Amino acid sequence: MTIENVSQAKVFGGWHKQYHHQSSSLNCQMRFAIYLPPEASADNPVPVLYWLSGLTCTDENFMQKAGAFRMAAKLGIAIVAPDTSPRGEGVADDPEGAYDFGLGAGFYVNATQAPWNQHYRMYSYVVDELPKLIEQHFPVTQVRSISGHSMGGHGALTIGLKNSDRYRSISAFSPISNPMNCPWGQKALSQYLGNNTDDWKQYDSAELLKSKMTTLPILVDQGEDDGFLQEQLKPELLLAAAEISGSDIKLRMQPGYDHSYFFIQSFIEDHLRFHAGFLKD
């Protein structure tokens, strides 16, 4: 698996770098970004936090806006941020150009319906292909945690819950907690997976938590002034599902905060310290 360096910049003694590569999971060229802390070397590989971004985003939103590098450098944690969907010529998109489906809106599922199943396999990309690529080319260990925002919070939760042997901890900002019961999720899941709602449950955090207890530590932050809170995000359903299975989730409702990266900036260092406690034990 070969990669091509696109850009790089030194920051807090470490390096932020972007790369292109040809993805076998997605059948297109993909871009990802990685932050390597100063201590990362062949003799001293470091653990990795995978970050999944939300609707309309690329790898750049988190890396440029979250303000995560100072703490990542201090804690000795690498951060990897993939794109949010396949892209390029021949990759299907919403015919009306809507922001919540198609390009920029992969929802971290493996699509089963045509034409989406030709490229939209973000679940396999994040779980299998990307970690293998990262561990082949960079001084990192196989010790991983996962986090994300909004659609990416949904992705981090579902991927972490379904692959508890691959991750040490999970966190999320403003996740789409129960996509089967919100407009964003219903639109995406019906078109990517078809109309059988039983097939949707494997990509729904609340449904996954209802059915099986998890021992993974989970931290969720949600802004109380988030405009999407009531209709799309519904964190109370995630908490109720965790109570059914006896899973332990820490949900923090943050007064005055919205859905933006100002919110993420305000609490990202808390999340990095949370993950460090499990990545470096």
pLDDT, tens digit, 9 for 90 and up, residues 231-242: 999 999 999 999
Mean of pLDDT values over 80-88 = 98
Mean of pLDDT values over 12-20 = 98
Rounded-to-integer distance, Cα 257 and Cα 18, Å:
30
pLDDT, tens digit, 9 for 90 and up, residues 188-231: 999 999 999 999 999 999 999 999 999 999 999 999 999 999 99
Percent of the chain whose pLDDT exceeds 90: 99
Per the DSSP assignment, residues forming a β-bridge with 79 are 35, 49
Pairing of strands 218-223, 249-254: parallel
Amino acid identity of residue 151, one-letter, is M
On average, the pLDDT of the chain sits at: 98
Smallest CA-to-CA distance from 201 within 179, 174, 233, 231 is with 179
Q: How many CA atoms lie within 13 A of 160 on its CB side?
A: 31
Q: Which helix (H) or strand (E) holds 52?
A: strand 46-52
Are 256 and 229 spatial neighbours (Cβ–Cβ below 8 Å)? no
Question: How much is the pLDDT for 280?
Answer: 87
The answer to whether the predicted template modeling score (pTM) of the entire model surpasses 0.85 is: yes
Q: How far is CA 93 from the centre of its chain?
A: 21
Any residues with CB less than 8 A from the CB of 255 and at least 6 apart, and which? 224, 225
Are 275 and 49 spatial neighbours (Cβ–Cβ below 8 Å)? yes
Has domain 3-277 been given CATH number 3.40.50.1820? yes
Which whole-number Å values give the CA distances from 84 to 29, 32, 104, 207, 220, in the listed order?
Answer: 13, 10, 5, 23, 20
Mean of pLDDT values over 156-173 = 98
Rounded-to-integer distance, Cα 51 and Cα 152, Å:
8
Residue labelled with tokens 């001293």? 44
Residues carrying an active site annotation? 150, 226, 259
For the cut 80, the answer to whether the pLDDT of residue 281 exceeds it is no
Per-position b or e across 185-202, b if 16+ CB within 10 A of its CB: bebbbbbbbeeeeebbeb
For the cut 90, the answer to whether the pLDDT of residue 1 exceeds it is no
pLDDT, tens digit, 9 for 90 and up, residues 135-152: 999 999 999 999 999 999
Question: How much is the pLDDT for 236?
Answer: 97
Rounded-to-integer distance, Cα 129 and Cα 123, Å:
10
pLDDT, tens digit, 9 for 90 and up, residues 253-266: 999 999 999 999 99
For the cut 90, the answer to whether the pLDDT of residue 52 exceeds it is yes
